[in-house]
Amino acid sequence: MAKLKVGILISGRGSNMAALIEAAKADGYPGEIALVVSNVADAPGVAIAQSSGIATAIVPHRGQPDRETFDRAVSAELERHGVDLVVLAGFMRIFSPWFPQRWKGRIINIHPSLLPAFKGLHVQQQAIDAGVRVSGCTVHFVTEDLDGGPIIAQAAVPVLADDTSDGLAGRILRQEHRLYPLVVRWLAEGRVSTEDGRVAVAGVPAGATLLFSPEP
């Protein structure tokens, strides 16, 4: 069966991108990384993608007259490479409504909190400040509603009494690297469906779309 063509959008470090590139190398993985797009030319993730032999495209957001023009330029690159699924991995731009509509049901994001708690930025600090005992990460479909699209899967990570934002972020990140390749696999296998804003994964009980961190 043809592999699902994945396009990854980044702006920085690219550790989730690297986890997906690594996962896609495994025999029988149903997705291939067809393209990495960055809006930042010197993002460390771009060099990682290039050294793995992945096609890259730089689409700078500066100098574009408006958000939609930028979005259309990104989309054109994705289409040129035959991308089926858009995966946001630390992509630090907010789309115009056009982009999520264009890729509806074929665009996902990973966010370092258990949504709908703690949207936006600095979410690990938000979790610590709120005194929650558990946080984690969420993979969700991207809609016009920022950090608000249907949730596909989550991983739970304990918040420790003396946690720092960096410490918690690092432990969440390790779970992101487990969760994202798993969700891309489910999508590539055509097992993910959405009804009334709720996502089901065929053959995976709802409880198994929640991972638990093996770390304290």
The CB-of-137 to ligand GRF minimum distance in angstroms stands at: 6
- 111 catalytic? Reply is yes
The CB-of-64 to ligand GRF minimum distance in angstroms stands at: 22
Which residue, 19 or 78, has its beta carbon nearer to ligand GRF? 19
The CB-of-15 to ligand GRF minimum distance in angstroms stands at: 3
Which residue, 15 or 154, has its beta carbon nearer to ligand GRF? 15
**3-state DSSP helix/strand/coil percent for the chain, to nearest 5?**
35, 25, 40
Which structure tokens are listed for 103?
């890729």
Which residue, 73 or 146, has its beta carbon nearer to ligand GRF? 146
CB atoms within 10 A of CB 135: 26
Q: 133 exposed, middle or buried (CB, 10 Å; 0-12, 13-18, 19+)? A: exposed
Q: In whole angstroms, what is the distance from residue 146 CA to residue 64 CA?
A: 22
Q: Which residues pair with 192 in a beta bridge?
A: 201
Which structure tokens are listed for 209?
């779309």
Q: In whole angstroms, what is the distance from residue 18 CA to residue 89 CA?
A: 10
Pairing type for strands 192-195 and 107-111 reads unpaired
Chain residues in the site for ligand GRF (CB under 6 A): 12-17, 89-90, 110-112, 137, 173, 176
Which of 111, 122, 140, 177 is the catalytic position? 111
The CB-of-190 to ligand GRF minimum distance in angstroms stands at: 25
Q: How far is CA 17 from the centre of its chain?
A: 9
Which residue, 78 or 114, has its beta carbon nearer to ligand GRF? 114
| Residues recognised as catalytic | 111
